[in-house]
Amino acid sequence: MTMLDKSLRAGKRAVRNAQTATTNADHGGEMMRAASDVIAARMAIMAEGFANPMKADVREMSLMGTEKMEAMSASAAAVAGTLGDLAARTSKSAMDEMGHAARAASAMAAAKTPQGAASAQMSYAMGWWSRASTQMLSLNTELLKAQADALKPIHAAATANARRLKK
């Protein structure tokens, strides 16, 4: 793959990351608006229940805790899975980089001239910059995925509750 191809591929990935970040922000805003509506509706339900316990909406009041636990559990499970995968990939990248560094050190030590050592060092440094930028772009992608996965069940619960309670 040529440098131009790599740059184009990285640029497209950066654009997708920006689109994902925008979607995550939109969903976060929707979730916050829905949560505000749900809190307002449930405060009214609780106030009515305290004023007249015989007419309290016990079903809705009991949903308040269970729905939160279900959404938070699903969110935590999604994040745990994504972060576990991310940790494994990051560890592999670190081990791979140790191999690159060892080969570079050997090449520098085996160089016959100072120019040869400098060339080996420069080759390693340029490769490192390329690998580091690729890894950071991948890390950014994975963290955006973790954010989306964490937000999804909470967003779904909040917006569903807001729609249901508006009736």
DSSP structural state of residue 166: T
pLDDT value at residue 148 = 95
Residue 21 lies in a domain: no
Q: For tokens 């959404």, name the residue.
A: 71
Look at the alpha carbons of 28, 32, 33, 38 in this order and tell me if their dihedral is positive or negative: positive
Residue 17 lies in a domain: no
Residue 135 lies in a domain: yes
Residue 11 lies in a domain: no
Instruction: Give the chain's radius of gyration (CA, Å).
Output: 26
Residue 140 lies in a domain: yes
Domain with 63 in it: 28-165
Cα dist from 149 to 74, 80, 146, whole Å: 9, 10, 5
CB 104 within 8 A of CB 121: yes
pLDDT value at residue 61 = 85
pLDDT value at residue 15 = 93
Render each residue's pLDDT in the chain as its tens digit; 167 residues: 888 888 889 899 999 999 999 999 999 999 999 999 999 999 999 999 889 988 888 888 888 889 989 999 999 999 998 999 999 999 999 999 999 999 999 999 999 999 999 999 999 999 999 999 999 999 999 999 999 999 999 999 999 999 999 87
Residue 7 lies in a domain: no
CB 9 within 8 A of CB 133: no
The total number of structural domains in the chain stands at 1
pLDDT value at residue 113 = 96
Residue 1 lies in a domain: no
Q: Tell me the DSSP string of 48-81.
A: HHHH-GGG--HHHHHHHHHHHHHHHHHHHHHHHH
pLDDT value at residue 1 = 80
Can you tell me the distance from the alpha carbon of 123 to that of 116, in angstroms, rounded to the nearest whole number? 10
Cα dist from 144 to 17, 18, 65, 122, 123, whole Å: 7, 9, 28, 33, 32
Can you tell me the distance from the alpha carbon of 133 to that of 140, in angstroms, rounded to the nearest whole number? 10
pLDDT value at residue 60 = 87
Task: Say what the pTM is.
Answer: 0.77
